[in-house]
Amino acid sequence: MTAEKLLIKNLKRGREEAYRQLIEEYGNRLLRTCCLILKDREEAEDVVQETFIKVFNKIDTFKEKSGLYTWIYSIALNLSRDRMRLKQDMLELKDEWIGNDDVESQVEINIDRELLRKEIFEMNSLYKEVLVLYYYEGLSIKEISYLLNEKEGTIKSKLFRGRNILKEGLLKGGQK
């Protein structure tokens, strides 16, 4: 039996050490990702707490079709999205990306780090969420598509637009 399967089994049995192990393994990672998406440490911590409590309550219904962390992650992202919707920090994106990403990658720019930092944290969560999952978490388009329950084309589109927003911001030198 793999370590993850054993952990799931012990979680289902209600063993305290399994719960502690789960939080120690994934808690900080989840907190960091949620913090990047929500821009607020306290809110991110609330989401992490809610996520784990939900995981504990629903662990018996977990069918192991995906990895444990993927499942936990999808719960956390849904909770984060609910919060962003409340703050109206998510725009609707109707169309899907059909462009050529080579055009974007050909643009050469000088990167002002502080300006880029500012642009990332001021950016709409709709795009930032995908950038965080892609660059920070190192997930593939396919994995992000599965996690967010969106088409791969939509994810590509968000990523492309997100990068363009950052590039435009850098080219304008922070002037909107």
Partner 1 sequence: MNKKDKQDKLGMEIKDIMEEETFDLTLSQKAFDNIIKHRKKSRNEKIREFLNRDIEIPLAPAIVGLAALFAITLIPGNVFKSQNEEIINMGNSQVIIREDFEVSQK
Contact residues for partner 1 (CB under 8 A)?
A: 11, 13-16, 19-20, 23, 27-28, 31-32, 35-36, 41, 45, 48-49, 52-53, 56-57, 59, 101, 105, 109, 111, 113, 116-117, 120-121, 131-132, 134-136, 138, 141, 156, 159-160, 163, 166-167
CB closer to partner 1 out of 69 and 88: 69
Contact assessment for residue 145 and residue 155, using Cβ atoms and an 8 Å cutoff: yes
User: CA-CA distance, 56 to 51, in Å (whole number)?
Assistant: 9
Smallest distance from the beta carbon of 14 to partner 1, in angstroms? 4
Exposed, middle or buried by CB within 10 Å (0-12, 13-18, 19+), for 60? exposed
- Beta carbon of residue 52, minimum distance to partner 1 (angstroms, whole number): 4
CB 81, min distance to partner 1, A: 19
Please choose, from the candidates 84, 155, 168, the residue with its C-alpha nearest in 3D space to the C-alpha of residue 119: 168
Q: Which helix (H) or strand (E) holds 77?
A: helix 68-86
CA–CA dist 36, 131 (Å, integer)? 10
Q: Which is nearer to partner 1, 88 or 95 (CB)?
A: 95
Q: State which residue, 32 or 88, has the beta carbon closest to partner 1.
A: 32
| Structural tokens at position 93 | 């994106």
Instruction: Report the distance separating Cα 107 and Cα 101, nearest Å.
Output: 11
Which lies closer to partner 1 via its Cβ, residue 61 or residue 88? 61
Nearer to partner 1, 126 or 167 (CB): 167
